[in-house]
């Protein structure tokens, strides 16, 4: 078994930190009992451990392949995708009206981690399909929803997001794909889209492309972009497939990682125009796409956690098995498994603490998302929504950046073997590097965090978050326990660093926008670090409480120690970022462009 889904840790976080225990009392969430959650996670773990995880390496050595407009998925992926969708996993959190299970995002988020850890390339196909479903749920007509969503949930069709063009990546205002209105109310699309994940493949009968394009005469910039459905095969009135649409895959990319996930260049309209159907209203496409993108950003953050945990598990196995050198404390007279060496343990604990901290951050945010939609109290709903929105750039930005560190440590623990591809550690390192880039680079997340999430409300939400952290510090201090107290002090120091930076951001955003944005990514890292460390501190409290109820297990011991380690080794990084942000922009802004 190369992957063990962290069912116990996910359930612990869901119940103790993310509000799973209350959720089933909310209207529409009646099915989301702790028992159901456990059953769902266990079943999800089984499928991913047994069926999907073994295909991860296969996908690296036999990537999806392209020939004459056709893409063939990695051998085994078709069958795995059939099992995945037959098990109902594609519809897990989508409405039952369209064939979904209607479970909350909290349960879905945990399951998403498992499939991404099992096989990131594979998991991208359902992740993009989820995004297409969300966009249609938000803005599609009833007829569009009824036509397109059920087959996607069944896995007969899949979905894609078509945003990027060669000249338009982070900057979607530069999109040029054009849409010409037709007499029958449809449009004809013309243009080239690149970096289209699972944009062409042979795992499903049809592919529902959601495409950003400009209607002739639309305003310049982002306010002139509309969203279109452009299916690979046109759909007839009875739902059966009709003619092949004029959208062609002209190539797929040769990438450093996630090689099994085909990244397509799609050509629309070379044969007279690809038939597209407007979603919602003209010129509001970006707004709709943002709904989808926010879900996808959360999803990519979870990918970071997933890849990190897989890398951690692999490194732990190796550290138990590999025998090399005597322990420095003289406790053994012979060479020992390397997990006995302090630096190997430091690396493993760093990997573990970062993964667990980010998992807790993501699941708590997912719980807040559910509360924002279903909690009976309007004030809780509003606060939960504000909290969730603050979290999205942290989950996307921080969890993916931490996955780079964790997968790098994963290779390092293996020594020279880590650099040999067959060992498997290198794949995680290569796969992870896309996560800080797609669905908005870390800088794009940081812009969102600074502009929309921090400065716009004068730092109110950021300070509300800090107040919650301070409340946890008070709980820790009240425990009168050495470990809890130590964590409280580390947390307080990190919170003060956070607040100093928030004050700087809010105060200087108008007068020194360049200095503020020069600090945006360090601010994102600082905030993500604080929130993940805060959740670990909450986990320590919950684990100590459970242990005091007599639930003494290795799991609880490890949770407390991992929280302490996070506080000791990871939280203190905030000081460096604070120093860099506050007063650290001058030199970088003064540098003449030609001097670089």
Please list every residue from 576 through 595 that binds its own copies, using CB under 8 A. Answer: 576, 578-580, 583-595
CB of 470 to its own copies, least distance (A): 20
How many C-beta atoms surround the C-beta of residue 446 within 10 A? 23
Q: How far apart are CA 15 and CA 45, in angstroms?
A: 18
Among 170, 182, 236, 548, binds its own copies (CB under 8 A): 170
Q: Give the largest Cα separation in the chain, rounded.
A: 85
Decide if 158 contacts 233 (C-beta within 8 A). no
Backbone phi, then psi, for 202, in 5-degree steps? -120, 25
Residue 439 known to be catalytic: yes
Region binding its own copies by CB under 8 A among candidate stretches 170-178, 181-189, 388-396, 466-474: 170-178
Residues 510-539 that bind its own copies (CB under 8 A): 513-515, 517-518, 520-522
Extended strands (E) in 528-591: none
Near its own copies in 458-497, by CB under 8 A: 483, 490
- Reading the block at residue 215, the tokens are 């209607």
Residue 192, both tokens: 């080239």
Site stretch for its own copies (CB under 8 A), options 130-138, 272-280, 416-424, 469-477? 416-424
CB of 308 to its own copies, least distance (A): 15
| Angstrom distance (rounded) from CA 56 to CA 504 | 45
Nearer to its own copies, 25 or 170 (CB): 170
Cα dist from 246 to 81, 175, 216, whole Å: 26, 19, 19
Of 40-99, binders to its own copies (CB under 8 A) are none
Q: Which is nearer to its own copies, 87 or 337 (CB)?
A: 337
Q: Note whether 416 binds its own copies by CB under 8 A.
A: yes
Q: Does 343 bind its own copies (CB under 8 A)?
A: yes
CB atoms near residue 468 (< 10 Å) = 15
Residue pair 136/145 in contact (Cβ under 8 Å)? The answer is yes
Compute the C-alpha angle 266/269/270, nearest 5°.
90
* Candidate list 202, 244, 271, 419; residue touching its own copies; CB under 8 A: 419
- Of the pair 477, 561, the CB lying nearest its own copies is at 561
Closest to 537 in 3D by CA, of 571, 581, 505, 504: 571
Per-residue binding string, its own copies, 384-413, x by CB under 8 A, is: --------------------x---x--xx-
Pick from 86, 97, 328, 380: which binds its own copies (CB under 8 A)?
328
Smallest distance from its own copies to CB 430, Å: 7
Residue list 191-230, contact with its own copies (CB under 8 A): 195
- Per CB under 8 A, does 4 bind its own copies? no
- Rounded to the nearest 10 degrees, the angle between the axes of helix 482-508 and helix 574-581 is 10
Q: Tokens representing 342?
A: 């302090």
Letters for 540-559 (x = contact with its own copies by CB under 8 A, - = none) are --------------xx-xx-
Which CB, 37 or 426, lies closer to its own copies?
426
Q: Are 278 and 455 in contact, with CB atoms under 8 Å apart?
A: no
Q: How far is the CB of 593 from its own copies (least distance, A)?
A: 6
CA separation for the pair 107, 124 (Å, rounded):
18
d(CA 335, CA 324): 5
State the minimum distance, in angstroms, from the CB of residue 508 to its own copies.
Answer: 12
Three-point CA angle 459, 462, 465, nearest 5°: 150
According to the binding rule CB under 8 A, does residue 352 interact with its own copies?
yes
Q: Using the rule CB under 8 A, which residue among 46, 284, 430, 463 binds its own copies? A: 430
- Contact criterion met (CB below 8 Å) for 153 and 208: no
Which residue in the set 148, 277, 438, 504 belongs to the binding site for its own copies (CB under 8 A)? 438
Comparison of 268 and 517: residue with beta carbon closer to its own copies: 517
Q: Which is nearer to its own copies, 183 or 592 (CB)?
A: 592
Contact between 349 and its own copies by CB under 8 A: the answer reads yes
Residue 585 phi, psi dihedral angles, 5° rounding: -95, -15
Catalytic residue among 113, 439, 473, 475: 439
Is residue 342 within the footprint of its own copies (CB under 8 A)? yes
Between 490 and 538, CB nearer to its own copies: 490
Name the pairing type of β-strands 70-72 and 247-252. Answer: unpaired
167 binds its own copies (CB under 8 A): yes
Residue written as token pair 């569009």 = 144
Angular region, 359: left φ>0, alpha ψ -120 to 50, beta rest? alpha
CB of 278 to its own copies, least distance (A): 27
The reply to whether 569 sits near its own copies by the rule CB under 8 A is yes
What's the rounded Cα separation, in Å, for the pair 545 and 467?
A: 23
Residue positions annotated with a catalytic role = 439
């Amino acid at each position: 078994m190369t992957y063990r889904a962290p069912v116990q840790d996910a359930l612990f976080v869901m119940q103790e930190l993310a509000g799973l225990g209350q959720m089933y009392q909310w209207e529409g969430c009646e099915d989301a009992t702790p028992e159901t959650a456990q059953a769902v996670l266990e079943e999800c773990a089984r499928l991913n451990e047994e069926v999907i995880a073994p295909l991860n390496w296969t996908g690296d050595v036999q990537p999806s392949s392209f020939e004459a407009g056709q893409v063939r998925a990695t051998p085994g992926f078709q069958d795995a995708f059939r099992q995945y969708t037959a098990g109902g996993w594609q519809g897990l959190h989508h409405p039952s009206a369209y064939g979904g299970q209607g479970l909350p995002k909290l349960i879905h988020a945990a399951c998403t981690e498992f499939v991404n850890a099992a096989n990131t390339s594979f998991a991208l196909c359902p992740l993009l399909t989820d995004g297409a479903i969300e966009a249609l749920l938000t803005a599609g007509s009833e007829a569009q929803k009824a036509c397109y969503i059920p087959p996607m949930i069944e896995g007969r069709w899949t979905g894609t997001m078509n945003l990027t063009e060669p000249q338009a990546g982070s900057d979607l205002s530069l999109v040029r794909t054009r849409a010409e209105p037709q007499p029958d109310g449809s449009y004809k699309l013309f243009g080239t889209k690149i970096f289209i994940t699972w944009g062409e493949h042979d795992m499903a009968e049809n592919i529902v492309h959601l495409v950003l394009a400009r209607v002739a005469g639309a305003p310049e910039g982002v306010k002139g972009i509309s969203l279109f459905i452009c299916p690979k095969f046109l759909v007839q009135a009875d739902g059966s497939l009709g003619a092949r649409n004029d959208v062609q895959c002209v190539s797929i990319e040769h990438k450093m990682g996630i090689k099994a996930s085909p990244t397509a260049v799609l050509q629309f309209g070379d044969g007279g125009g690809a038939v597209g159907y407007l979603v919602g209203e003209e010129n509001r496409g970006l707004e709709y796409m943002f709904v989808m993108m926010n879900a996808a950003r959360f999803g990519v953050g979870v990918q970071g956690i997933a890849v990190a945990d897989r890398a951690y598990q692999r490194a732990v196995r190796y550290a138990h098995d590999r025998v090399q050198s005597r322990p420095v404390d003289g406790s053994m007279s012979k060479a020992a498994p390397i997990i006995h060496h302090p630096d190997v343990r430091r690396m493993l604990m760093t990997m573990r603490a970062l993964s667990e901290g980010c998992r807790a951050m993501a699941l708590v945010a997912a719980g807040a998302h559910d509360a924002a939609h279903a909690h009976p109290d309007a004030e809780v709903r509003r606060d939960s929504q504000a909290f969730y929105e603050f979290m999205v750039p942290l989950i996307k930005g921080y969890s993916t950046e931490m996955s780079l560190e964790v997968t790098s440590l994963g290779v390092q623990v293996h020594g020279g073997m880590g650099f040999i591809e067959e060992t498997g550690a290198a794949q995680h390192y290569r796969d992870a590097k896309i996560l800080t880039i797609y669905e908005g680079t870390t800088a794009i997340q940081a812009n969102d965090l600074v502009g929309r999430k921090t400065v716009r409300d004068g730092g109110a939400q950021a300070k509300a978050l800090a107040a919650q952290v301070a409340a946890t510090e008070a709980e820790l201090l009240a425990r009168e326990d050495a470990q809890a107290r130590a964590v409280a002090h580390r947390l307080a120091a990190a919170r003060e660093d956070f607040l100093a930076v928030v004050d700087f951001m809010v105060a200087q955003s108008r007068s020194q926008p360049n200095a503020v944005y020069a600090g945006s990514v360090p601010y994102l890292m600082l905030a993500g670090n604080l929130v993940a460390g805060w959740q670990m501190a909450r986990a320590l409290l919950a684990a100590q409480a459970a242990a005091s109820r007599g639930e003494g297990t290795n799991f609880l011991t490890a949770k407390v120690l991992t929280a302490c380690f996070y506080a000791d080794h990871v939280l203190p990084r905030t000081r460096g970022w604070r120093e860099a942000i506050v007063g650290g922009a001058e030199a970088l802004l003064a540098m003449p462009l030609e001097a670089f």
